[in-house]
């Protein structure tokens, strides 16, 4: 199964947006999270757009932008599922 590991190699927080619901996960320096499509999702493909301190991830079936995959989880290095808003730093906006 395709998975998308995301690693923060910088020295500041990075905001990970997972679309289409704009779920937000904050990576501290050194963190690694993985976007995992749901079981049975055929041929998931990822599109990643970067903006300063932000990564926006879309997952599509077979790379077709009309076939957005909405069944996914985001997990940490230990495989623990992370909730929306994970590690939101005080006073930080994702925008």
Give residue-wise pLDDT tens across range 25-78.
999 999 999 999 998 888 999 999 999 889 999 999 998 989 999 999 999 999
Output the CA torsion 77→81→83→85 (10° steps).
20
Q: Is residue 95 part of a domain?
A: no
Residue-number span of the structural domain to which 52 is assigned? 4-75
pTM: 0.92
Q: Is residue 10 part of a domain?
A: yes
pLDDT at 1 over 80: no
Q: How many domains does the chain have?
A: 1
Q: Is residue 24 part of a domain?
A: yes
Q: Is residue 71 part of a domain?
A: yes
pLDDT reported for residue 21: 92
């Amino acid at each position: 199964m395709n998975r998308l590991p995301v690693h923060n190699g910088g020295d500041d927080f990075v905001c990970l947006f997972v679309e289409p619901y704009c779920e937000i996960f904050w990576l501290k320096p050194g963190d690694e999270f993985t976007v995992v499509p749901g079981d049975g999702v055929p041929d998931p493909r990822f599109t990643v757009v970067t903006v300063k301190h932000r990564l926006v991830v879309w997952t599509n079936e077979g790379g077709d932008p009309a076939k957005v995959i909405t069944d996914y989880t985001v997990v940490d290095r230990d495989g623990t599922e992370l909730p929306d808003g994970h590690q939101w730093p005080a006073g930080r906006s994702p925008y």
